[in-house]
């Protein structure tokens, strides 16, 4: 009888934990992952694309932007099937991507990245941060988010020191003669 009671208590405990965890993260059901998977912020390590991000947190980004008028311009690389301006979001051009797409003049592309990564505010959706091409992986690998809009949009505030450190880690210091072939692992 005690073994059966222990099993029932375990099942009820797991069910209560699952319900409580799900309710805690309401209304972020799409980006929800339980704590064993790392929670919503650990979810991108397991699933991406429409499994986690459909642009559902754009309204949370709008609310964040309204509460932080100092965060202008807000450069963004978001994952959405519609134009965020429809919601009234005021967004600037996307941040520079790295590694650069294959182009005849890699030195020019390198210089463009160095000049374009400037201090300021950046919003990136989880799909852009974890994409297979890795164009914005340097944010995820070398910087810490300052805030989140829901669980699918990461907001970064870069200082001049942050920009210098990212350039250094990517081997793009102005005194470096050639860029690395891939993003260094840390």
Q: Where are the domains of the chain?
A: 46-169
Q: Tokens 């000049």 map to which residue?
A: 115
List of residues 6+ apart from 171 with CB closer than 8 A: 178, 179, 180, 184
What's the CA angle centered on 97, arms 96 and 102, to 5 degrees?
A: 125
Maximum distance among all alpha carbons in the chain?
Answer: 75
Helix (H) or strand (E) holding 157: strand 153-158
pLDDT at 155: 97
Helix (H) or strand (E) holding 147: strand 147-149
Q: Tokens 């993260």 map to which residue?
A: 25
Polymer length in residues for the chain = 186
132 within 8 A of 164, measured Cβ to Cβ: no
User: Which residues of the chain carry a pLDDT beneath 70?
Assistant: 1, 100-106, 174-186
pLDDT at 178: 45
- Residue of 95, 139, 93, 135 whose CA lies nearest to 115: 95
């Amino acid at each position: 009888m005690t073994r059966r009671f222990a099993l029932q208590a375990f099942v009820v405990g797991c069910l209560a934990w699952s319900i409580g965890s799900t309710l805690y993260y309401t209304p972020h059901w799409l980006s929800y992952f339980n704590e064993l998977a790392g929670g919503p912020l650990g979810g991108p390590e397991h699933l991406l694309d429409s499994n986690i991000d459909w642009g559902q947190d754009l309204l949370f980004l709008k609310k964040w932007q309204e509460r932080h008028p100092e965060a202008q311009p807000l450069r963004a690389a978001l994952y959405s099937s519609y134009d965020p301006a429809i919601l009234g979001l005021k967004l600037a051009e996307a941040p520079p991507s790295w590694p650069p797409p294959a182009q005849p003049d890699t030195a020019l592309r390198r210089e463009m990245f160095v000049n374009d990564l400037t201090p300021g505010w950046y919003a990136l959706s989880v799909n852009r941060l974890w994409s297979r091409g890795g164009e914005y992986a340097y944010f995820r690998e070398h910087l810490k988010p300052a805030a989140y809009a829901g669980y699918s949009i990461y907001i970064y505030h870069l200082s001049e020191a942050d920009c210098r450190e990212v350039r250094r880690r990517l081997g793009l210091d102005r005194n470096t003669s050639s860029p690395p072939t891939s993003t260094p692992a840390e």
